[in-house]
Structure 1
Amino acid sequence: MFGYNKVAFLFHMLRRQLGEQVFESALRRFWREQRFRIAGWNELERAFSEEAGRNLSVFFDQWLDRTGAPEISFAKVAKSRQEKDAWILSLEIKQSEPSYQLQVPVQVLTTKGPVERLIPIKGTHTPVEIQLSAEPIELVADPDFHLFRRLVSGEAPPTLRDTLLSGQTQTLVLEGSTFQQQGLALARAMLDSSLQSNSTLEPEKPFLLIGPSSEVDTFLRTHKLPGMPEELAVPSSAQVWARRTPQGQPYVIIAANSQASLEALLRPLPHYGRRGYMAFQGSKAVIKGNWPLSKSGILYRFP
């Protein structure tokens, strides 16, 4: 049995919810009953429900009949000390509409180490109370990506797509550039929305910056943004990288040595949207990579 993307997550979540033994038994039951037949999701659901001894229709319906994914967050987080070695952590786990029935892994870091809980939730607001033997410092939901859900800002490493598909991306071809026209042509080829050409940076929006390498360096220093990453410090004619501002907005930098170097990117670069950084020699990508994960899970840290 094979599954990709959302289907693979469905089986992963089902295995964790039922346990390894019941999951494997259900698969064997499905094989015995449907061998040499054409079977679908209804037959699979019936095999798992019968083996688990409970109705799993809600689980299958919410993952098979809906598009999208839940978005989870914390609210009303508080801690209170009951006695010397007793604390109570209270919070709400919120999710977007339409709500799902989920088993949310929550890890609480305390002064004595981590504590893990599996919290069942349904509806848009689920109140939770956790008893602890030490003071909580931070908590994180789904730190190991066991749920099919929308990632919060900062969980996924930045890629070119974050900026190019935003719909609000501002484009800056640096003043004084000798290849303004070529820079705008490249921006039009890459952006998923209409071109919004700006002369100044609006920090609350994503941006695409195109310019000669020296002018790009000056711009980044002026706006207190990191310079070209060391991963791109190789002989090349153009460098491209994706980052996020301190405010969490994605941005893409395209720095080229010459107008010809920029023109060479027109055909290959729009096909690298899932990359985090690249270096080109002419039209050939000599370096291409993705940034590592900086954090995982939905984090709350006590002040």
Structure 2
Amino acid sequence: KLETRQTQSDPTFTFKLPVAVWLTGKQKPIIKNINITNKKNISLFSFNKKPLKVLLDPYHEVFRRLNPKEVPPNLGKAYGSEIKTALFPESNYSNELISGYKLFYKSIESTFNPPHINFKDNSRDMKATSNLWVFGKNNNLFNEIKSQLSQYDVKINDQGITLGESYFKWGNHSFVFALSHHNFDNKQMVWLISPSKKSIPGLIRKLPHYGKYGYLIFKGNEPENVAKGTWPSSPVGLDHTFTKGTYPLFPKAPLVKKKIKLEK
């Protein structure tokens, strides 16, 4: 039994609502479409297996206003934030690299909303941030960052980062990760690590063009983008889990399959 309600004062909005249901012993969910015709709608489902999780609008197909918490962290939100705060590494970093980080931060300062700058490794003064830019590996937020990245199956060690099936070394790659700032609602942070100051001008020039992405990896001083992607959205208020577990949502099959003919 699934009950949905429309709480707006306007007349009932009639639409088709996709529902994903994961069942015991099945890796892929079953997708059901229900017709919403009343402010209060009750739908009945019958399955031959125990349901484990239910998710409404799994592929974001319903025309609606998204809950801000549904939108995953991304660079566009970082650049568009009204208040920007920086956290720079204080120790074990060369003065040249720190000056490169400061050069990057200066490039994103807002003349209308002066940023709050923190040049020391101290996270106590972050209450007013809309987006926190964290530079370098050595900082008090490292454990929080590492914990969040592990949820996306990103692994960190002393030599580099494993993303999916690829491994990238610290020494010749720049990394940019947009993440949630768990201490505050609707806040996020961006973790930026670069191997040298030489790659900073290229990052300043290129990053604004990658607004929709949650993570980026660049190689060399140019730098050349070698990996990019978005984080999965958060189904805030749209799901119910009966049994804890991992429930993958596979890409939706295209409506039309194109055949590509190669000419010799």
TM-score class normalised by the smaller sequence = 0.5 to 0.7
Distance in 2 of aligned mates of 1:282 and 1:296 = 38
Mapping 1:173-212, distance limit 5 Å: 173-176=88-91, 177=93, 178=95, 179-190=97-108, 194-198=114-118, 199-200=122-123, 202=126, 206-211=131-136
The corresponding residue for 1:287 is 226
The corresponding residue for 1:270 is 208
Instruction: Say which SS state the counterpart of residue 200 (structure 1) adopts.
Output: coil
TM-score (norm 1): 0.52
Matched, 1:140 2:55: yes
**Greater CA radius of gyration, 1 or 2?**
1
Instruction: Say which SS state the counterpart of residue 269 (structure 1) adopts.
Output: helix
Q: CA deviation at 1:108?
A: 5.8
Maintained 8 Å contact 2:83/2:115: no
Give the aligned CA root-mean-square deviation in angstroms: 4.0
Q: 1:148 to 1:90 in 2, by over 3 A?
A: closer
Q: CA deviation at 1:239?
A: 2.3
Distance in 1 of aligned mates of 2:60 and 2:34 = 13
The corresponding residue for 2:21 is 109
Matched, 1:243 2:152: no
Mapping 1:5-154, distance limit 5 Å: 88-94=1-7, 101-107=13-19, 109=21, 114=30, 116-120=32-36, 126-133=39-46, 138-152=53-67
Instruction: Say which SS state the counterpart of residue 268 (structure 1) adopts.
Output: helix
Q: 1:183 to 1:110 in 2, by over 3 A?
A: closer
Instruction: Say which SS state the counterpart of residue 185 (structure 1) adopts.
Output: helix
Distance in 1 of aligned mates of 2:22 and 2:135 = 46
The corresponding residue for 2:162 is 230
Q: Which runs of 5+ in 1 are unaligned?
A: 1-87
Distance in 2 of aligned mates of 1:219 and 1:89 = 41
Maintained 8 Å contact 2:18/2:32: yes
Q: CA deviation at 1:293?
A: 3.5
Maintained 8 Å contact 1:110/1:137: yes
Distance in 2 of aligned mates of 1:140 and 1:293 = 14
Distance in 2 of aligned mates of 1:133 and 1:268 = 51
TM-score (norm 2): 0.59
Distance in 1 of aligned mates of 2:145 and 2:177 = 17
Q: Which has the higher helix share?
A: 1
Q: 1:297 to 1:103 in 2, by over 3 A?
A: farther
Q: Which runs of 5+ in 2 are unaligned?
A: 150-155, 243-264
| Residue-by-residue CA offset, 1:241-300 (whole Å, 9 max, x unaligned) | 223355774321111223344355333333333333121411322424113636679622
Paired positions, count? 209
Letter in 1 for 2:85: Q
Distance in 1 of aligned mates of 2:224 and 2:69 = 27
Distance in 2 of aligned mates of 1:295 and 1:100 = 26
The higher relative CO (CA closer than 8 Å, separation ≥ 6) is in: 2
Distance in 2 of aligned mates of 1:197 and 1:98 = 45
Distance in 1 of aligned mates of 2:207 and 2:130 = 22
Q: CA deviation at 1:205?
A: 5.2
Distance in 2 of aligned mates of 1:100 and 1:206 = 38
Q: 1:114 to 1:259 in 2, by over 3 A?
A: closer
Maintained 8 Å contact 2:87/2:134: yes
Distance in 2 of aligned mates of 1:290 and 1:110 = 26
| Residue-by-residue CA offset, 1:157-216 (whole Å, 9 max, x unaligned) | 5421132223244321222352545423312323565322234164885421113x4x26
Q: CA deviation at 1:136?
A: 6.2
Instruction: Say which SS state the counterpart of residue 204 (structure 2) adopts.
Output: coil
Q: Residue 162 of structure 1 is aligned with which of 61, 77, 87?
A: 77
Maintained 8 Å contact 2:54/2:239: yes
The corresponding residue for 1:299 is 238
Q: CA deviation at 1:99?
A: 7.8
Q: 1:175 to 1:290 in 2, by over 3 A?
A: same
Distance in 1 of aligned mates of 2:10 and 2:101 = 43
